[in-house]
Amino acid sequence: MSGRPHTRERILDAAEALFFRNGIAVTGVDQVAASAGVAIVTLYKHFGGKDNLLREVLARRLDAWTRHWDAAVDRAGSPRERLLAVFEAIETFRAATGPTQWCCFLATASERPAPSDGRADPVFDLVEQDTRLVAERLVRLAEDAGCVDPGTVASRLLLLYNGVLGSLLRGAPADPVAHARDTARLVVDSHSPVA
């Protein structure tokens, strides 16, 4: 058996790299097929079209991100550190997945706004799922850490999280993750009960 990934995985890998390095709108399925080393008809056979391909890329990415965050939470030694583990997860996730322009979900949201006609959009549904995952999990972790106002702590950490992702897009010269983590510690400490 060859060491090459299966066709479906090669297509997903190529799509992820091209969509989030060059942009979703400007990347055609013909480019994805060529990069994956498959015929365009093979891409359509597996995914049916660009929207389904994008949805599958995002679903795979959400699963990988969740696994990294779970692992970072599991490694943390205290409820406070479990709350701050989101920043370690960003580092391990980026190290494992390789460079992309920035967060795939923010990139998708910026290129593909919510449908205004009320129709279901499976791609946008995944963007919303990622947003809910991050926001709700931060609230739960802030509650577990004993923060006085878990909603406020989670909102502020979410701003820091999004700031890290935006800084990565802009090519920040300093390490945005380390700075965000330091600021997050101050936020958490300011909302912790006095011992």
pLDDT tens figures, 41-98: 999 999 999 999 999 999 999 999 999 999 999 999 999 999 999 999 999 998 888 6
Rounded distance, CA 126 to CA 132, Å? 10
pTM of the model: 0.86
Low-confidence ranges of the chain (pLDDT < 70): 1-5, 98-102, 194-195
**What single letter denotes the amino acid at residue 67?**
R
HSE, CB side, 13 Å, CA atoms: give it for residue 100: 25
Residue 35 contacts by C-beta under 8 Å, 6 or more apart in sequence?
Answer: 14, 17, 18
The confidence score (pLDDT) of residue 3 equals: 47
CA-closest candidate to residue 42, choices 17, 6, 89? 6
Q: How crowded is residue 84: how many other Cβ atoms within 10 Å of its Cβ?
A: 24
CA-closest candidate to residue 97, choices 63, 124, 134? 63
The confidence score (pLDDT) of residue 66 equals: 94
**Contact of 65 with 93, CB cutoff 8 Å:** yes
CA-closest candidate to residue 38, choices 58, 15, 57? 15
The confidence score (pLDDT) of residue 101 equals: 55
Angle at 178 between CA 21 and CA 128, to 5 degrees: 50
Rounded distance, CA 137 to CA 143, Å? 10
Q: Which two tokens stand for residue 162?
A: 């999004």
CA-closest candidate to residue 60, choices 128, 9, 94, 5? 9
Q: Which two tokens stand for residue 10?
A: 């090669």
Rounded distance, CA 32 to CA 28, Å? 7
How far, rounded to the nearest angstrom, does the alpha carbon of residue 4 sit from its chain's CA centroid?
26
Rounded distance, CA 154 to CA 141, Å? 8
Q: Which two tokens stand for residue 118?
A: 């009320």
**Contact of 130 with 106, CB cutoff 8 Å:** no
